[in-house]
Amino acid sequence: MNDAPEKQSSSIGPAGWVVVIVLGGFLAWAIWYAMHTWSKMAGVGISTAGWVFMVLGIVVTFALGAGLMGLVFYSSRKNYDQ
């Protein structure tokens, strides 16, 4: 009897790519909508520093979320959470 776990492929399948593309589209639309709505508000402006820090906050928040989700999946695959 072989107790070794079966080797799973770590590549993403076609359905996974569809999900990534759809979610990327949602993200792009949300960013466009937020910028469009902000620019249409009368008398409200945002400086260059404001744009830089907003983008930096988005990137850091996304990276943190992706990193934590990666750790959750890694822990699950390696059975560290048992």
For 36-76, the pLDDT digits (tens) are: 988 888 787 788 999 999 999 999 999 999 999 999 999 98
* 74 in the same domain as 50: yes
Structural domain of residue 73, as residue ranges?
46-82
**Total number of domains in the chain:** 2
**Single pTM value for the model:** 0.48
* 55 in the same domain as 32: no
**21 within a domain of the structure (yes/no):** yes
**24 within a domain of the structure (yes/no):** yes
Per DSSP (E only), the strands in 1-82 are none
Mean pLDDT value across the chain = 87
Say how far apart CA 61 and CA 74 lie, in whole Å: 20
* 50 in the same domain as 39: no
Tokens read off for 32:
């466009």
